Amino acid sequence: MLVRELRQPPEPWSTFQRNRSLWALPFRGLEWSLQWAAYYLSRWALLEVLEYLSVLSVLFAVIFYFAESGDRKKQKHYQAWQVINTAQGKGGSGGRIEALQELNLDHVPLVGVNAAGAFLQGIQLRGANLLRADLAAADLRDSNLEASDLEYANLRSANLRQSSLRHARLESAELQDADLAGADLSGADLSGAGLDDADLRNVNLAGAHWQNIKTIAKANIYGVRNAPEGFVAWALGRKAVSLARENE
């Protein structure tokens, strides 16, 4: 910010140029003229007014920026949904990883989102609301879906290897033929879930709510970690299998 300074008038020319070399006179004349110009401008109130106006313009710009932040966020969400909807039915990511993560970070519900067959490896959707989402055959390897709501979600044939589903809500989720090898399902609620033909090898089931699993026929439970008491016997009694390799 400029500071307005009331200057004293410069010395008279006769005093200012005294004892100066002839070659320096043009430069001294310019300096003397500029000093007079600065003197008159320092007494001009218009410049001070213009300075205050420039400060006010910055203040108004900041106010309008924050006032319009809601509209900018809506526009950002609209563009993210456009990316997701345009890519429906297509393979690859198509920008859906970034779009879904952005919406979830802004706490936008992803209820019923359709990303079937999408490449979403490593996606971070902790605590996402994915109620009734269609993620059939989606590649979700190494993803973070901790504490997410996947009730009634379609995860048939989805690849969830090494993914974190800790404390996820998977009630009535369709997990038939899903690849969950090495996934973390500790504390997850599997009530009403369909797990027929699912690959559950080396899954972590510590504290999982498994008693009301709907179906588990032909699911491979080999090497299940931290299996709750009674789970293995219960699963094998309902036609689950325990095979070290998929082709056995």
pLDDT band at 91 (very low <50, low <70, confident <90, very high): confident
* Within a domain: 1: no
* Within a domain: 165: yes
What is the pLDDT at residue 25? 58
Q: Are residues 223 and 133 in the same domain?
A: yes
Q: Are residues 245 and 139 in the same domain?
A: yes
Q: Are residues 217 and 119 in the same domain?
A: yes
* Within a domain: 3: no
Q: Are residues 143 and 236 in the same domain?
A: yes
Q: Are residues 131 and 177 in the same domain?
A: yes
Three-state secondary structure readout of the chain: CCCCCCCCCCCCHHHHCCCCCHHHHHHHHHHHHHHHHHHHHHCCHHHHHHHHHHHHHHHHHHHHHHHCHHHHHHHHHHHHHHHHHHCCCCCCCCCHHHHHHHHHHCCCCCCCCECCCCECCCCECCCCECCCCECCCCECCCCECCCCECCCCECCCCECCCCECCCCECCCCECCCCECCCCECCCCECCCCECCCCECCCCECCCCECCCCCECCCCECCCCECCCCCHHHHHHHCCCECCCCCCC
Q: Are residues 146 and 190 in the same domain?
A: yes
Q: Are residues 108 and 227 in the same domain?
A: yes
CB-based contact 141:120 (threshold 8 Å): no
Q: Are residues 176 and 240 in the same domain?
A: yes
- pLDDT above 90 covers a percentage of the chain that reads 65
In tens, the pLDDT along 175-223 reads 999 999 999 999 999 999 999 999 999 999 999 999 999 999 999 999 9
Q: Are residues 51 and 143 in the same domain?
A: no
Residue 32: domain span = 13-67
Domains identified in the chain, total number: 2
In tens, the pLDDT along 22-65 reads 565 566 666 767 776 776 666 666 666 667 677 777 777 777 66
* Within a domain: 194: yes
Q: Are residues 241 and 136 in the same domain?
A: yes
* Within a domain: 115: yes
- Alpha-carbon span 240 to 222, nearest angstrom: 10
pTM of the model: 0.72
What is the pLDDT at residue 55? 73
Distances (CA, A) of 38 to 2, 3, 31, 43: 14, 13, 10, 9
